[in-house]
Amino acid sequence: KELKKHFPLNKGWFGRQTGSVKAVDGVSFVINEGETLGLVGESGCGKSTTGRMIMSLLKPTDGQIWFKGQEISKLKDDEVRDLRKDFQMVFQDPYASLNPRMKVKDIVAEPLIIHGEKDKGVIQNRVDELMKTVGLNAFQADRYPHEFSGGQRQRIGIARALAVKPKLIIADEPVSALDVSIQSQILNLLQDLQEEMGLTYLFIAHDLSVVEHISDRIGVMYLGRLVEVADKDSLYDEPLHPYTQALISAVPVPNPRLKRERIILKGDIPSPANPPTGCPFHTRCPKAMDICKTKVPVMREAREGHYTACHLYES
């Protein structure tokens, strides 16, 4: 609810505070149990920062995070630890997130040990089981991460995330570093695991074609704010926000007869240290009106279950 993360900028040479980067600037959304919410936007739009706040890896500047009726954003650090079991993260670069000096079995077992499992036999069995669950062989757990391919390393990252039977997995660009042919294997694995285990996903990506495959609903972020949230189908069939329309126009369509006209946005994304007044998208929006320069549009339900923050839909 109204999540914000403002990072103070370095103080200048004369010790003056020079402002802050508004990485996330008032974001509200719900993730329903068992669904996948895709979170999309260009790099720097605040989607990873949002994920890290939900994971309690970053403290929000403002706003609240609720989980099963409990406000977790006001818990103390030791109270958060118990909750950590329910929340796990899968990262973009499986190589960077796996300790190269540890054997895979120790990497996968680590969350179990952190959460108090001491019985070596139990740990061994669980690691074997997890390796098979993600499509690897149990004997491969004796190897080191560098002995695996990128796709296999992401499978190891997923096995580790599953070790403590989480409820919510925040996957931050989990396939962006992988070859296209491997991407769909990992996406299929994530979908199978979701079905088997009733997992809930927040799936972060900069690429709309990746989230289309896996999401039930999609949220689009721009410059630290959510600009549109809708069911996948209504978002693709009838994108309302001009930014979403531009993103979707850039997704390749398999049938060339359905080809949409590509909307090219002018200019670059403004700096989150100095965001535009009014609608943060007005400097690049092909449909900008006078009001957009001064008044911030609020998120509202423009169609049933389809929310957007844009003055075009306010009357």
Name the residue nearer to Mg ion (CB basis): 48 or 73: 48
Residues 202/31, Cβ–Cβ less than 8 Å: yes
29, 32, 34, 38 alpha-carbon torsion, rounded to 10°: -20
Angstrom distance (rounded) from CA 160 to CA 133: 11
Of the residues 107, 131, 292, 302, which one makes contact with ligand SF4 according to CB under 6 A: 292
> Does 310 interact with ligand SF4 (rule: CB under 6 A)?
yes
Strand partners, 200: 168
Q: What stretch of H or E contains 151? A: helix 150-162
Of the residues 58, 80, 102, 312, which one makes contact with ligand SF4 according to CB under 6 A: 312
Of the residues 5, 22, 306, 311, which one makes contact with ligand SF4 according to CB under 6 A: 311
State the nearest-atom distance from the C-beta of 48 to Mg ion, in Å. 3
Q: Which token pair is 253?
A: 């369509």
Angstrom distance (rounded) from CA 201 to CA 31: 8
Binding segment for ligand SF4 (CB under 6 A), chosen from 102-110, 128-136, 152-160, 274-282, is 274-282
Could you tell which of Mg ion, ligand SF4, none binds residue 303, using a CB distance below 5 to 8 A set by kind?
none
Binding-residue total with ligand SF4 (CB under 6 A)? 14
Residues 306/230, Cβ–Cβ less than 8 Å: yes
Site for ligand SF4 in 227-246 (CB under 6 A): 241-242
> Does 152 interact with Mg ion (rule: CB under 5 A)?
no
Angstrom distance (rounded) from CA 313 to CA 307: 10
> Does 279 interact with ligand SF4 (rule: CB under 6 A)?
yes
Name the residue nearer to Mg ion (CB basis): 36 or 48: 48
Residues 177/125, Cβ–Cβ less than 8 Å: no
Could you tell which of ligand SF4, Mg ion, none binds residue 126, using a CB distance below 5 to 8 A set by kind?
none
Name the residue nearer to ligand SF4 (CB basis): 104 or 265: 265
Could you tell which of ligand SF4, Mg ion, none binds residue 162, using a CB distance below 5 to 8 A set by kind?
none
DSSP state of 140: G
Encoded amino acid at 142, one letter: D
Could you tell which of Mg ion, ligand SF4, none binds residue 59, using a CB distance below 5 to 8 A set by kind?
none
3-state secondary structure of 186: helix
Angstrom distance (rounded) from CA 96 to CA 162: 18
> Does 48 interact with Mg ion (rule: CB under 5 A)?
yes
Q: Which token pair is 127?
A: 């690691």
Could you tell which of Mg ion, ligand SF4, none binds residue 48, using a CB distance below 5 to 8 A set by kind?
Mg ion
Using CB under 6 A as the criterion, which residues of the chain lie in contact with ligand SF4 when the complex forms? 241-242, 279, 281-282, 285, 287-289, 292, 297, 310-312
Using CB under 5 A as the criterion, which residues of the chain lie in contact with Mg ion when the complex forms? 48
